[in-house]
Chains A and B, each alone.
Chain A
């Protein structure tokens, strides 16, 4: 039979996935390199200059006007923000590309059907189409968050205006959560790309699913690890203390009861004192996550997102298999 035509060899799909998405590969590489360079610059010269300016400012703060490089401080602050938002945009970029270009356009133009009628199964096709980008997304995004963390550490404690670890943009941009979100975006884009016949719809759908999951994990994160409670006597009259991601704040009454969200909205201190006296409050409490909870929160959230990604992957593959295989067709 025809198998004798040429010696059987392996299917080489990977090189064609690279060839077909070559512009995206170049763009991705350029984006990662540019952002990595920017983050290194931020962590090095920019952070050093800002730290030095703060040092000078703090040294002469009590002695009237002094010379310090205010521009260096503002430059670090601005570029830090730009770089942070650029890293946070990566999952959306991946989801949009996956939905529109990687899968959606193939389904829309019918080239997916062309691929499925070659000598490989649709499942194999999808596996290769997802595995290679998943690897590149993990490596690229992973490098970015590592460098972002490096840039944040470079400013922490040296630059007074540097963001706290618990600032949400900083929290996401310098941890593995954003890598997991990029992978979720990749799979979500593919799932919708296979289901919707328009690449534009898949683009929007991929973005929506990614945004929705990000929002969900954002609501979930404070509750993923048990909080630390800090109690401050009311006499200090400074409000609850303890820096980090706060979950519940309020006052404790003389009977030991906790009243959450007991914020005084009055204008004067006297009115507020009366308000708290009315509640019979003796101290503030703050249930929060201190800096030591950074990694547990990051890794648990990452784990949840990876589990969701795995689930979406199973749904995507099962959908494709059910769509292209006859019910009796156990052999693929």
Chain B
């Protein structure tokens, strides 16, 4: 057992051939401790899906390394669950057959009861074919298949996008119970920050193929401050992520170095504010574990 769920070192993935190649992920380094519920956040096309596919052993990196549960993604396959963004399932199978297939393809660690509980929560007839299900119902079956595997690490790409608020709430509850009961590390990507704030304790913010922020959400929030100061104030030596001058006031989001001046009004930003500030300002310096250690040193 390792205490690290995912560790990426200078991970890079390029698509396409020379000349027309685009980097989906570039120089991506972070460490996700085991047992966390991690949100992978970023705009569309930021590289979230690529990162999850690399960790799931579905695609090989162009450069760098990724270690999953202490080994290669390929070797960790049996211990990792994956739910792809479009929730692919075999349309010709029934729900019951899909779960039986899960049992046959995951010998030794299939939890039939857990899988059935997820399906039963949606009041679905097990005899129903996958092709006749709605998007939300398919998501439920895909989650059942992934949870039935009893994974140590569960990777989910936009898992909740198709679900109505009730189902979203219920399935998030199922996931959190799984994480609490079995110590499962959960990694889910989303571009809706609000839906992750309550359930996630770790954040990985990706923008333009690079890691912009990585760490425990509490620590990240505490490491930043919202300040309101007179327009001419010198904000240095604090690292300014974003600043906006309105009239005689400048409002900014900063990474304080030392203590902030007492006459500046401030507060802790919300997760959404933090994320948006970083996304709006691609030039703002990234904050990843390696760098935060430098800071504390």
Any B CB within 8 A of the CB of A268? no
A110 & B72 in contact (Cβ 8 Å cutoff): no
Is A256 in the interface zone, CB < 8 Å from B? no
Report B86-100 residues with CB < 8 Å from chain A CB. 86, 88-90, 92-93, 97
Residue A218 interfacial (CB < 8 Å):
no
As a 0/1 sequence over residues 96 to 119 of chain B, the CB contacts with chain A under 8 angstroms (1 = contact) are 010001101111111100000000
Which residues of chain B are within 8 angstroms of A325 by Cβ–Cβ distance? 57, 60, 72-74
Residues of A within 8 A of B105 (CB): 11-13, 16, 115, 118-120
Indicate whether A15 sits within 8 Å of B1 (C-beta atoms), given known contacts A117-B81, A326-B66.
Answer: no
Known A-B contacts A5-B109, A110-B84; A326 and B150 likewise in contact (beta carbons under 8 Å)? no
CB distance A10 to B109 under 8 Å? no
B-contact 0/1 string along A174-209, CB 8 Å cutoff: 000000000000000000000000000000000000
On whether the beta carbons of A5 and B111 are closer than 8 Å, the reply is yes
Which of B71, B73, B89, B106 makes the CB contact (< 8 A) with A118?
B106
Q: CA of A5 to CA of B104 in the docked complex: distance in angstroms?
A: 15
Nearest B-chain residue to A15, judged by Cβ: B104
Q: Which of A5, A115, A118, A323 contacts B108 (CB 8 A)?
A: A5
Taking the complex as formed, is B235 at the interface, i.e. its CB lies under 8 A from any CB of chain A?
no
B60 contacts A113, CB within 8 Å?
Answer: no
Q: Check A1 for interface membership: any CB of B closer than 8 A.
A: yes
A residues in contact with B74, CB < 8 Å: 121, 324-326, 329, 331-332
User: Which residues of A sit under 8 angstroms from B90, Cβ to Cβ?
Assistant: 20, 111, 114
A298 vs chain B, min Cβ distance (A): 40
Answer yes or no: B224 CB below 8 A from chain A CBs: no
Residues of chain B from 27 to 80 with CB closer than 8 A to chain A in the complex: 53, 56-61, 65-66, 71-75, 77-80
A236 part of interface (Cβ distance < 8 Å): no
| A114: min CB distance to chain B, Å | 5
Check if B58 sits within 8 Å of A119, measured CB to CB: no
Q: Which DSSP category, helix, strand, loop or mixed, fits chain A's interface?
A: loop
Number of interface residues of B (CB under 8 A): 44
Q: Min CB distance, A228 to chain B, in Å?
A: 52
- Across the interface, B57 reaches (CB within 8 A) one of A3, A115, A116, namely A116
Closest to B110 in A: A6
Known A-B contacts A117-B81, A118-B105; A324 and B72 likewise in contact (beta carbons under 8 Å): no
Q: With A16-B101, A119-B78 as known contacts, state yes or no: A111 contacts B89, CB within 8 Å.
A: yes
In the complex, how many angstroms separate the beta carbon of A206 from the nearest chain B beta carbon? 22
B152 interfacial contact with A, CB 8 Å: yes
List the A side residues contacting B278 at CB < 8 Å. Answer: none
- With A and B bound together, what is the CA distance between A190 and B72 in angstroms? 26
Q: How far is the CB of B116 from chain A (nearest CB, A)?
A: 15
With most chain B CB atoms within 10 A of its CB, the pick from A8, A114, A117 is: A117
Please tell me if the beta carbons of A324 and B75 are within 8 angstroms of each other in the complex: no
Say if the beta carbon of A9 comes within 8 Å of chain B: yes
Q: B140 at interface (Cβ–Cβ under 8 A)? A: no
A328 contacts chain B at the CB level, 8 A cutoff: yes
Q: Which of B53, B73, B107, B145 has the most CB of A within 10 A?
A: B107
B1 shortest CB reach to chain A, Å: 7
Residues of A within 8 A of B104 (CB): 11-13, 15-16
| A109 at the B interface (CB under 8 A) | yes
Report the Cα distance A113→B88, complex, angstroms. Answer: 8
The residues of A that contact B102 with a CB separation of less than 8 Å are: 118
Whether A27 is near chain B, meaning CB under 8 Å from some CB there, is: no
Tell me how far the C-beta of B150 lies from the nearest C-beta in chain A, rounded to whole angstroms.
5
Whether B109 and A3, one on each chain, are in contact in the complex, defined by CB atoms closer than 8 angstroms, is: yes
- Asked if B149 is at the interface of the complex by the 8 Å CB criterion, the answer is yes
What residues of A have a CB within 8 angstroms of the CB of B75 in the complex?
A: 329, 331-332
Contact assessment for A3 and B108 in the assembled complex, using a CB-CB cutoff below 8 Å? yes
A9 and B60 contacting across the interface, CB-CB below 8 Å? no
> CA separation between A12 and B97, bound complex, in Å?
13
Closest 5 CB pairs of A and B: A110-B88, A8-B108, A329-B72, A118-B105, A117-B82
